């Protein structure tokens, strides 16, 4: 009988030790299982095919995308916010002539650069946007300022520029935004349409230039160590655009959306279709209400909603667990991501 109790006691002790070890495991797991922070970016979708891009240009674009990723990642890595990370990543692309945003923005019908940008914070659903601004070096910084400093979400045109001046946002002269390539794009579109050419004389038209006037928007989505998601988009819009057209990039829910409960998304493509389908918000709602993965939700929106209307483009995003996804129905999309679990990817073409 005594022996029986000894066994019983040993049994109970060992069970409780096992349970204790299990609890310990859980604690360890939750300590080591930090939220994997991550950033994903795009530099526009379109007719991006290997045969159209020289090896030198390919390297240049790849390096710039990597620089953008690194800039955002560095902020996340030291515990910075996803808002700061997406802004830093976009600044790199806005400061490069390679993308249709900031310095490399395309020309509107009057030969001017007219830019849109938006940013959104998934924790608070705060958002800021600017539409049709000229001579602003980094439109995404102005969108961020709108979000942070006034109770409006969206400012536009001369009013947004006045607001920028009051807050000492950096302006640049027209010449800063001039790129031969974008000017030639404008000339080609105008010549094709038989429209009057703007003041600057158009020589040296590169006839082999790929007509990417609809594409090239830049975007970034990040999740930080606190699990907060942010998304942002910046663009020069469409070459030869008229009538102060506003595309999807500055429209919360179309070009940009972030929600800590679901995901963050940034869009690029023929903006009107992304507005009509509320592409970024629709993606988030499909994740939330249909319980689809972000990857499947993006595919659903691009291929079953945007494409049937005649639209094309792509979207990037990441979900609340830091899982990255993208999709596009164009030939290619400049894109990349970097995650704290050691992944680093940059791609340009369809694959």
Nearer of residues 161 and 224 to a copy of itself, judged by Cβ: 161
| Whole-Å CA distances, 287 to 96, 267, 284, 294 | 34, 16, 5, 6
Q: Among 185-193, 218-226, 285-293, 314-322, which window interacts with a copy of itself (CB under 8 A)?
A: 285-293
R_g of the chain, CA atoms, integer Å: 24
Please, what is the minimum distance in Å from the beta carbon of residue 275 to a copy of itself?
Answer: 5
Should residue 301 be labelled a site residue for a copy of itself when binding is judged by CB under 8 A? no
Should residue 38 be labelled a site residue for a copy of itself when binding is judged by CB under 8 A? no
Should residue 131 be labelled a site residue for a copy of itself when binding is judged by CB under 8 A? yes
**Among residues 75, 223, 278, 324, the one that binds a copy of itself under rule CB under 8 A:** 278
Nearer of residues 126 and 293 to a copy of itself, judged by Cβ: 126
**Catalytic residue among 6, 81, 217, 277, which?**
217
Q: Among 41-49, 70-78, 123-131, 329-337, which window interacts with a copy of itself (CB under 8 A)?
A: 123-131
Total residues at interface with a copy of itself (CB under 8 A): 43
Phi, psi of 303 (to 5 degrees): -90, -30
| Whole-Å CA distances, 292 to 65, 262, 283, 321 | 29, 10, 9, 14
- CA 21 distance to own-chain centroid: 44
- For residue 18, the surrounding DSSP H or E stretch is helix 2-32
**What mask, x for binding a copy of itself by CB under 8 A, covers residues 255 to 274?**
--x-------------xx--
Phi, psi of 49 (to 5 degrees): -130, 145
Distance CA 181, CA 271 (A): 22
Q: Which of residues 145-204 bind a copy of itself (CB under 8 A)?
A: 150-160, 162-163
The answer for residues whose C-beta is within 8 angstroms of residue 242's C-beta and 6 or more apart is: 108, 109
**What mask, x for binding a copy of itself by CB under 8 A, covers residues 16 to 35?**
--------------------
Distance CA 23, CA 159 (A): 59
Should residue 285 be labelled a site residue for a copy of itself when binding is judged by CB under 8 A? yes
Q: Among 28-36, 86-94, 118-126, 223-231, which window interacts with a copy of itself (CB under 8 A)?
A: 118-126
Distance CA 166, CA 185 (A): 34
**Among residues 119, 127, 221, 229, the one that binds a copy of itself under rule CB under 8 A:** 127
Q: Which of residues 304-323 bind a copy of itself (CB under 8 A)?
A: 309
Work out the number of other CB atoms within 10 angstroms of the CB of residue 175. Answer: 6
32 is annotated as an active-site residue: no
**Nearest CA-CA partner of 229 in 251, 257, 268:** 257
Please, what is the minimum distance in Å from the beta carbon of residue 343 to a copy of itself?
Answer: 31
Should residue 126 be labelled a site residue for a copy of itself when binding is judged by CB under 8 A? yes
- For residue 284, the surrounding DSSP H or E stretch is helix 279-289
Q: Which of residues 199-258 bind a copy of itself (CB under 8 A)?
A: 242-247, 251-254, 257
Helices 82-94, 55-77: inter-axial angle, 10-degree rounding: 160
**Contact footprint for a copy of itself (CB under 8 A):** 120, 125-127, 131-132, 150-160, 162-163, 242-247, 251-254, 257, 271-272, 275-278, 281-282, 285-286, 289-290, 309
So which residues are the catalytic ones? 217
């Amino acid at each position: 009988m005594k022996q029986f109790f000894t066994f019983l006691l040993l049994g109970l002790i060992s069970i409780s030790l096992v349970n204790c070890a299990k609890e310990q495991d859980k604690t360890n797991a939750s300590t080591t299982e930090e939220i994997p922070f991550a950033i994903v970016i795009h530099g526009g979708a379109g007719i991006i095919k290997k045969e159209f891009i020289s090896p030198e240009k390919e390297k240049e674009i790849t390096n710039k995308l990597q620089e953008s990723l690194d800039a955002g990642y560095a902020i996340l890595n030291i515990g910075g916010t996803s808002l700061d990370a997406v802004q830093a990543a976009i600044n790199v692309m806005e400061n490069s002539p390679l993308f249709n945003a900031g310095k490399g923005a395309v020309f509107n019908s009057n030969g001017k650069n007219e830019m849109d940008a938006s940013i959104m914070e998934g924790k608070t659903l705060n958002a800021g946007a600017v539409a049709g601004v000229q001579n602003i070096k980094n439109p995404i910084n102005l969108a961020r300022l709108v979000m942070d400093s006034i109770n409006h979400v969206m400012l536009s045109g001369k009013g947004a520029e006045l607001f920028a001046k009051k807050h000492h946002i950096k302006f640049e002269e027209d010449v800063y935004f001039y790129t031969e390539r974008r000017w030639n794009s404008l000339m080609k579109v105008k010549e094709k349409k038989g429209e009057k050419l703007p003041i600057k004389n158009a020589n040296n038209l590169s006839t082999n230039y790929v007509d990417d006037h609809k594409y090239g928007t830049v975007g970034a989505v990040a999740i930080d160590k606190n699990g907060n998601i942010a998304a942002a988009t910046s663009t020069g819009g469409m070459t030869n655009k008229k009538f102060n057209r506003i595309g999807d990039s500055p429209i919360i829910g179309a070009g940009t959306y972030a929600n800590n409960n679901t995901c963050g998304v940034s869009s690029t493509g023929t903006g009107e279709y992304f507005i009509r389908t509320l592409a970024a918000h629709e993606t988030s709602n499909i994740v939330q209400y249909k319980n689809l993965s972000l990857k499947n939700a993006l595919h659903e929106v691009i291929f079953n909603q945007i494409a049937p209307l005649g639209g094309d483009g792509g979207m990037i995003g990441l979900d609340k667990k830091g899982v990255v996804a993208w999709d596009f129905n164009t030939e290619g999309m400049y894109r990349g991501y970097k995650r704290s679990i050691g992944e680093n990817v940059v791609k340009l073409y369809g694959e």
